Amino acid sequence: MTVLSVNVNAVAMLRNRRNLPWPDLAHIGRLALQSGAGGLTVHPRPDQRHVRFSDLPTLRELIDTDFPSAEFNIEGYPSDDFLRLCEDARADQVTLVPDDPSQATSDHGWDFEASRDTLRPVIERLRGRGTRVSLFSNPSPQGLEAAAELGAERIELYTGPYGATHADADAAMREIDRLRETAERAFALGMDVNAGHDLTVGNLPALKRAIPRLAEVSIGHALTADALEYGMPETVRRFLAALSA
């Protein structure tokens, strides 16, 4: 079964437009988890323009107290400050992304070979604390041997190019083929596979059919957009149904 992890960054960004406590991130997270999501994802950026550092202990407490089987996934660039946040929040999974702090959103995966010296001590540090490590990966098998050798337990497929094909069915199938090839290589190397970026109710079924062993999808933008129309509980149920289609 593929776990749905709800990324609450877009909810936090809406809250941050005013100096007010709503929408309440913990309440929205609770609605998502009550409705069947298997975890929550955050991407705390240095400028705190989305989730704030102070949100992390609140969300950790929510999971520990009321949803102990759920996971807390924290993603970001592996600076010392970021790693301390992950350690303090006792992240169940840390997804390392090669973002520049000024980027609006993640838009590419690691060059695993070129990033060996950056990633090796970080992966050792996190795994030494019992934290699962996932590395953000382009939809290409190139360099996955290095990711496995570094000790990553999972990769997260960057599905942005697939999401961008929403109006072109032929292009979508080409992207699906690239994602399938990458996943199969990761499996052969002993890693599990997550996916995230621009995934929707409409494009999830084809992805899941192509990669039946998909461990987790982390979804924020489209899920939050749908929640404006359907509400968070019904939206989570719709995404779970899409993963089972």
Distance CA 125, CA 196 (A): 24
The one catalytic residue in 43, 50, 153, 156 is: 43
CA nearest 3: which of 224, 225, 204, 177?
204
The one catalytic residue in 153, 156, 175, 197 is: 197
CA nearest 32: which of 40, 43, 24, 22?
40
Active-site residue flag, 234: no
Active-site residue flag, 75: yes
Judge whether 93 and 73 are in contact, CB under 8 Å: yes
Query: Residues 119, 123, 127, CA angle at the centre, nearest 5°?
Result: 180
The one catalytic residue in 50, 75, 156, 216 is: 75
Helices (DSSP H) in the chain: which residue ranges? 9-15, 25-34, 55-66, 80-88, 116-128, 144-149, 160-163, 169-188, 204-210, 221-230, 232-244
Token pair 């996932």 in the structure block, residue = 134
The full DSSP string for 126-166 is HHHTT-EEEEEE-SS-TTHHHHHHTT-SEEEEE-HHHHTTT
Distance CA 74, CA 171 (A): 31
Q: Which two tokens stand for residue 135?
A: 């590395």
Could you give the residue numbers annotated as active site?
43, 75, 197
